[in-house]
Amino acid sequence: MNIFQIITLLIVISALFSYLNVRFFKLPTTIGLMIMAMLFTLGITISSFFTDVLLNNAVEIISSIDFKEVLLDVMLSFLLFAGALHTKLSHIKTQRYPILMFATFGVLVSTILIGSLTFYLLNFMNLPISFMQALLFGALISPTDPIAVLGILKKAGAPKRLETKIVGESLFNDGVGVVIFLVLFQLAANPEADISIGHISFLFFEEVGGGILLGLGLGYATYWMLKSIDNYETEVMLTLAMVMGGYLLASSLHFSGPLAMVVAGLFLGNDTQRQSSMSEITERYVDKFWEILDVFLNAILFVLIGLEVLILSFEDNYIIAGLILIPISLICRYLALLGPIQIFKKKLDFVPRTGLIMTWGGLRGGISIALALSLTDEMNRELIVAITYIIVVFSIIVQGLTVEKVLKWLKVS
């Protein structure tokens, strides 16, 4: 099948599953679509007992889709910008210090904790893995996914200041997590490389600092152009061009594209910039365009996650390791959040049991799977992909469906 046929098929499947979810199941969109996609793959697998035609065709189609490229190089820029554009900068500013600590210190500590425990666990289970490979797994599983988190938290009725922390952390820790992963990936791919603290720090600050500065520059340039005209069609096109061109520019400069898109989205979505650069009709069209695009890409992404199970290898010991690492990854996330929470909880009046709620409400998503799929065979790719998939599916389905119940149980509203 050519690329147009594959895209068409994904859109048709996503639209059909979305209709069935809204019409009958009424689950949160991301969860409903992924569950139906997984049931669909189960049906295809069962059909192989009678004929292999459907299974072979499905595997061929899914195998032809580079999930890592589709998400990291195409979808992620749109999804992060859309999420940031609809996030109130005033709320982020109020919680900026804990969000910054969660997204940097928290991700780094989580990476080390999960990586270390994974190294000892897998080697104990006779699944040989190097410490660097275990750290790579820690880096890719530590970031939470704003794409999965946002809609579920709103539906669950989480307090606004708590929702801001979780969503703000998720928007920024994606970029930081990807940077940490890329630095570790370079070291794992070339063990002879310079691994001095200075070199690692330079790579980190080049990606993070460059991404933030580029995002501010892109946001201001687009704001200036929006302010100088009043034509909603052109202004929508300008925001789209900024996201696509800006992400491409970030990649060529070795800056963090995800961070650049988050910063640009927050800048343009700020009430001050909105009121001074967009007319009422422009603001309405810009918001609706990015809202629809966000929903559309989300649908395709979570259908892809569900269908991806067809081409993954799940050996018995891989499944056992994945199930054991579910509680380990949750405990490590809780411990990584503990320091920043203790530092800021009195000053910023944190919701009771913030650590527990942020641990359970911080869902893993497509970014973790995409990063795992980007590993080479020499990096224990098959093992890490299988474990990552198990944790992500548990996170989205089990944690996602029970966030509201956890909030009620903890009497947080």
Reported as a single tens digit per residue, the pLDDT across 174-196 is 889 988 998 899 888 876 665 66
Per-residue confidence (pLDDT) for residue 96, from 0 to 100:
87
**DSSP string of 134-152?**
HHHHHHHHSS--HHHHHHH
Instruction: Show the beta-strand stretches assigned E in 133-242.
Output: none
Q: How far apart are CA 213 and CA 246, in angstroms?
A: 12
Nearest-CA neighbor of 122 among 325, 294, 373?
325
> Which token pair is 16?
């059909």
Structure tokens at 371: 């990063």
Q: Are 319 and 386 in contact (CB under 8 A)?
A: yes
Helix/strand/coil percent split, the chain, to 5: 85, 0, 15
How confident is the chain (413 residues) per 10-residue block, as mean pLDDT?
Answer: 86 94 88 91 90 90 90 90 88 87 94 97 96 96 78 69 83 89 87 68 86 96 96 96 96 93 94 91 95 91 92 92 97 95 82 88 90 92 96 93 85 69
pLDDT digits (tens, 9 = 90+) for 200-236: 788 788 899 999 999 999 999 999 999 999 999 999 9
Q: Is the CA virtual torsion 388, 331, 140, 185 positive or negative? A: negative
In this structure, which long-range contacts are made by residues 200-205, counting pairs with CB atoms below 8 Å and at least 24 apart in sequence? 203/179, 204/179, 204/180
Cβ atoms of 175 and 153 closer than 8 Å: no
Instruction: Tell me where in the chain the CATH 1.20.1530.20 domain(s) lie.
Output: 67-409
What CATH class does 67-409 carry? mainly alpha
The span from the CA of 229 to the CA of 271, in Å, is 18
Report pTM: 0.91
Q: What pLDDT shows up at residue 196? A: 67
pLDDT at 242: 97
